[in-house]
């Protein structure tokens, strides 16, 4: 989803709780990775790996000048032939430490093996954020969570687009006063004319 579509989606969602909720969660995510500086780990479930969110966060990290937003995608079953950025396995969660942020994206509460790894990462000092799962064990062990209930107005993929876009935008201080619109327009023009970030 490009910036124009995100802007249109935000117009449609104006007045709903989703804009505030996704911006708040994006602010927590950004604040965690920027203040701790230890890196962002992104993991899903065996059935739902959030590689699309990983790609969007890499884009936002490049466009916003916030390299801490670029995640390490942790996968359940990487193959030896996978490229390096897609070859990080669950063993990486065992190495999670204080200062790192672990973002778990799951449409439903994960199974026990992943929950145990997330719990271990939290015990080791990592900040745990949860996106997607409702009121379950993952939400209770997370430092912060944004639930996307089944049957909600927005699906998990759409919410991920809103969160990633807001995380990149919030990384840049909003200018105040009369030049605000002009500064935002100049930033958009710079992003559109600049070289694209490395693709996945």
- pTM for the full predicted model: 0.81
pLDDT in tens, the chain (200 residues): 566 677 777 777 777 788 889 999 999 999 999 877 779 999 999 999 999 999 999 999 998 888 999 999 999 999 989 888 889 999 999 999 999 999 999 999 899 999 999 999 999 999 999 999 777 899 999 999 999 977 778 889 988 988 998 998 864 443 444 445 555 566 666 666 666 655 55
Q: Using DSSP, state whether 100 is helix, strand or coil.
A: coil
Give the residue ranges of DSSP H helices in the chain. Answer: 3-13, 17-36, 51-64, 91-94, 112-123, 137-141, 156-169, 180-193
């Amino acid at each position: 989803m490009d910036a124009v579509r995100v802007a249109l989606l935000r117009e449609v969602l104006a007045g709903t709780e989703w804009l505030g909720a996704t911006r708040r969660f994006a602010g927590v995510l950004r604040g965690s990775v920027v203040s701790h500086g230890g890196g962002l780990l992104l993991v899903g479930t065996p059935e739902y790996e959030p590689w699309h969110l990983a790609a969007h966060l890499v884009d936002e990290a490049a466009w916003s000048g916030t390299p801490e937003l670029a995640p390490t995608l942790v996968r359940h079953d990487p193959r030896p032939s996978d490229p390096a950025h897609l070859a990080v396995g669950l063993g990486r969660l065992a190495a999670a430490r204080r200062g790192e942020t672990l973002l778990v994206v799951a449409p439903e509460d994960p199974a026990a093996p992943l929950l145990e790894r997330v719990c271990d990462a939290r015990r080791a000092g990592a900040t745990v954020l949860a996106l997607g799962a409702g009121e379950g064990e993952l939400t209770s062990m997370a430092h912060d969570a944004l639930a996307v209930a089944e049957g909600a107005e927005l699906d998990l993929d759409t919410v991920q687009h809103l969160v990633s876009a807001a995380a990149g935008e919030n990384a840049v201080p909003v200018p105040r006063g009369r030049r605000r619109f002009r500064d935002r327009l100049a930033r958009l023009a710079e992003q559109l004319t600049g070289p694209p970030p490395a693709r996945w």
